[in-house]
Amino acid sequence: MGLKTADEYRASLNDGRVIFWGGEKITDITSHPRFRVPIEVACSDYDYANPELGELITYETEDGSKAHRVYQVPRTVEELELRLKLGCQMSIVGGVTGVYMALLQIKDRLAAVNPRFAENIENMYRYARDNDLRAAEVITDAKGDRSKKAHEQIDPDLYVRIVKETPEGIIVRGAKLHITAAALVHELVVMPTKSMRENEADYAVAFSIPVNTPGVKIINRSFAPAELNSFDYPASSHHSMPEGFVIFDDVLVPWDRVFLAGEWQLAGAFAGALGLWERTLGLAMASQDANIMVGLAHLVTEQQGKDRDPHVQDTIAELICYAETIRMGLDYAVRHFEATDGGMLHPNTLGINVTKYYYASNFHQMVRHLHDVAGGLTITLPEEADLLNEETGPYLRKYLAVREDTDVEQRMRVFSLIRDMTADAFGGWHLVTALQAGGGLKAQRIMMSRTFDMGDARNAALSAAGALKQD
């Protein structure tokens, strides 16, 4: 019980979990080179002794103990704002542990249908919080043929489903794909990926189980090789995190770990709540990245003496507009929060979905702007080792100079970050992730249509047309 140290976290991962990477079965991830960077990233969230982080990453629970702030249920705007700040500070492993907010958000609705399952959510939340656990958001199914429902697929296991109920619990089978940090957490929090109909009731299933539960297997993949130097790969060398292809091979989930088992009417509510919190976290990080992109555009053009060029200034203005719109969208969503009956606050659903849509649908254009002003060195710049090499270093210093005072090393670092963030390991991942993580554009379009006040807009239009009938 209580806060863990980084060492305790590391040791807790050596629990017999079944992990694969690149065709290899890894028995102890804590000593395997593939996991060195990802585990270090996850350990940073356990750095409670760090005075710069301590205040932000902990809070006092209702019983007076200390817990990681990712478990704090927001009840004021200030607490929502702190959550966003935390989202920028935390590793993605801490970030996805925010999955408990989605569970708590729908707990009251679930209680009306199945009080026992709602109690399981509350118990699970407290257990995870009080033991300082990390959890993954395990939502996206394999899905097979997208034009067919879950029960119409060629293989009934293409969406995770209940294959049997026993006195001990439910037996589940299926696979969940792309699961961020699945191999590095303690709990897999599983939910339906979409709404389900009555004839898909076996697929309306949500639960939480430890990663080392018999029958769970995780195949990993990351955008970055095991080790990269931080000069040439300033982003990838520190952010590398595997996504997991998680298999549930007839896994027994005890009844006290079940949140949904056939209540198909609520499947969509789980998916919706998770989407909201996942998009909020994604936007907190996106806002930070967009700000960095503005800074990079300014630095790279200044270093080349073209920062006064009108085309460059226009381009940088586009980037500023992008970064500020995301920041303002987030700010709006927090200030116009919504609340559950139990008093838990969550960001404005329409505001988050509009902002996520804006961020994702414009991201590639912003990368294009940055590439446009930066030039070809973005991908052809020699490496740090060439700068350090006695024979080649002087040539780099000579030919990468722009003015008397050019700091060639700084110039190289700026280009390296542009490449790494937008055109290489982390960058390649980012191009797809901006669109898909937290749900593709279609998911936000659906949520925008559902939550926009269409009645008000129609009345405004009718009124403007002089056609509004008064009752």
Ligand X SMILES: Cc1cc2nc3c(=O)[nH]c(=O)nc-3n(C[C@H](O)[C@H](O)[C@H](O)COP(=O)(O)OP(=O)(O)OC[C@H]3O[C@@H](n4cnc5c(N)ncnc54)[C@H](O)[C@@H]3O)c2cc1C
Give the footprint of ligand X on this chain (CB under 6 A). Answer: 96, 137-140, 143, 146-147, 176, 178-180, 243, 432-433, 436-437, 439-442
Of the candidates 146, 154, 150, 152, which has an alpha carbon nearest to the alpha carbon of residue 205? 150
Burial of 38 (0-12, 13-18, 19+ CB in 10 A): buried
183 versus 412: smaller Cβ distance to ligand X? 183
Supply the minimum distance, in Å, between the C-beta of residue 49 and ligand X.
29
Q: Which residues pair with 208 in a beta bridge?
A: 189
Query: What secondary structure does DSSP assign to 378-432, as a single string?
Result: HHHPPPHHHHHSTTTHHHHHHHT--STT--HHHHHHHHHHHHHHHTSHHHHHHHH
Supply the minimum distance, in Å, between the C-beta of residue 149 and ligand X.
10
271 versus 381: smaller Cβ distance to ligand X? 271
Distance CA 175, CA 196 (A): 17
56 versus 431: smaller Cβ distance to ligand X? 431
Supply the minimum distance, in Å, between the C-beta of residue 326 and ligand X.
19
276 versus 400: smaller Cβ distance to ligand X? 276
Supply the minimum distance, in Å, between the C-beta of residue 218 and ligand X.
12
Backbone angles phi, psi at 27, to 5 degrees: -85, -35
254: left (phi over 0), alpha (psi -120 to 50) or beta: beta
Supply the minimum distance, in Å, between the C-beta of residue 91 and ligand X.
13
Supply the minimum distance, in Å, between the C-beta of residue 143 and ligand X.
5
Given a contact cutoff of 8 angstroms between Cβ atoms, the answer to whether 92 and 81 are in contact is no
325: Cβ contacts below 8 Å, ≥ 6 apart? 355, 358
Supply the minimum distance, in Å, between the C-beta of residue 387 and ligand X.
32
Distance CA 251, CA 241 (A): 26
109 versus 149: smaller Cβ distance to ligand X? 149
Query: What secondary structure does DSSP assign to 96-116, as a single string?
Result: HTTHHHHHHHHHHHHHHH-HH
Which letter does DSSP use for residue 438 in this model? T
Sign of CA dihedral 137, 173, 35, 4: positive
CA angle 312, 315, 317 (to 5 degrees): 110
185 versus 387: smaller Cβ distance to ligand X? 185
116 versus 221: smaller Cβ distance to ligand X? 221
Supply the minimum distance, in Å, between the C-beta of residue 320 and ligand X.
27
User: What's the chain's Rg over C-alpha atoms?
Assistant: 24
133 versus 319: smaller Cβ distance to ligand X? 133
Supply the minimum distance, in Å, between the C-beta of residue 182 and ligand X.
7
Distance CA 71, CA 98 (A): 7
96 versus 319: smaller Cβ distance to ligand X? 96
